[in-house]
Structure 1
Amino acid sequence: MKALPKFVGPLLLLYLMWGDVSARISPLADYPSLRSVGSGVLTWWGIRVYKATLYAPQGEYHPNMPHALEIVYRMDISRERLAKTSLKQIEKIRGHALADRDAVLDQFKAVFCDVTPGDVIVGVHLPGEGARFYCRKDYLGRIDDPELAAAFFNIWLSPATAKPRLRAALLGEDQ
């Protein structure tokens, strides 16, 4: 039997890696009308933390319509840190601390995962119902509180966000 050319191994590896990436975003396959609205990169002191992409029906975002946020992480972050940072950003946008902080932290920890570079978290916001969360293509759980779910997505989509450039990129306004 003849040996395969040397370039076949690296090509096979790339193929397998691409297949893994496309499988990770499979939660979006459950929402076929969702199309990319825009995407942007969050940096912190010049370090790329993640790339985020907003998906909405036919690629047009309306806050009262289902939409999804896909985040591809570029660094290690614990679920605890993700939960605490999310809570902090919600409180910052609202201008006050939440009365049920511990319960909110527990809800976030239940729907987040520890991430490493390349990991993907997808959050699907269903206005009036809540949100569903996936990590590395696996369903993690949901937030049934419509107000908390909206507050979570407002971290990126509210005009009061701490990252207005990222918001503009997600909404496709930076082009």
Structure 2
Amino acid sequence: MSRFRHVLWLMLFLAQTAWANWQEAVPGARLMGAGEFRMFGFHIYNARLWSATQSLGDGQPFALELIYQRTISRDDLVEASVNELKRLGGAAVSAQQLAAWQTQMQQAFVDVQAGMRITGVYLPGRGARFYVGQRMQHEINDPQFARAFFDIWLDPRTRNPTLREQLLGVAMP
């Protein structure tokens, strides 16, 4: 009976881990800001930034939620991310790192349809988790990747400074 109980507890623990949602990784999360991303006039996604504090620091987890308005393939999402990581990272990011990150993002991302949501959670000193809806899709245990990835939206050199300001709560959408 004792062995059966241990197996049952293990199964319960694994089920809870698999079904954990992103809010558990960012306790007390509140909306910092929101905006939309458009390219060539097309509405691509709505973005929302969640944090337990009103400022982002390396010591605090946060979540970036993207609600897609169009169908986009996983390959296109990964390619766009790699291009931005390369642009922002410059010589500080090696070709080997980019290749490893690309492989990880292939596991973290999915083909999206209008209305789907992917949430990335920044875990300071650890890496990032990616959720599709409320289900954890993949975790990348690489702090350098996590910082570089979220810089696509939050670095002052982002391609969309207006969206950055909206996410940080500096400007209204």
Shorter-chain TM range is: 0.7 to 0.9
1:144 and 2:141 correspond = yes
Determine which of 129, 136, 149 is the counterpart of 1:132: 129
Q: Which residue of 1 aligns with 2:94?
A: 98
Q: Which residue of 1 aligns with 2:161?
A: 164
Which string of whole-angstrom CA distances, capped at 9 and with x for unpartnered residues, describes residues 100-140 of structure 1? Answer: 13222110011111100000001110111001110022111
Structure 2: which 5+ runs fail to align? Answer: 1-20
Q: 1:71 to 1:173 in 2, by over 3 A?
A: same
1:71 and 2:66 correspond = yes
Name segments (4+ residues, structure 1) moved above 6 Å.
Answer: none
Q: Which residue of 2 aligns with 1:83?
A: 78
Structure 1: how far apart are the matches of 2:52 and 2:165? 18
- CA apart distance, 1:82: 0.8
- CA apart distance, 1:29: 4.8
Q: How many residues were matched structurally?
A: 150
**TM-score, normalised with respect to structure 1:** 0.80
1:56 and 2:35 correspond = no
Identity of aligned residues (%): 37
Where do residues 31-50 of structure 1 align in structure 2 (5 Å cutoff)? 31-50=26-45
**TM-score, normalised with respect to structure 2:** 0.81
Q: Which residue of 2 aligns with 1:16?
A: none
Q: 1:89 to 1:52 in 2, by over 3 A?
A: same
Structure 1: which 5+ runs fail to align? Answer: 1-25
Q: 1:147 to 1:171 in 2, by over 3 A?
A: same
The 8 Å contact of residues 26 and 63 in structure 2, kept in 1 or not, is answered as no
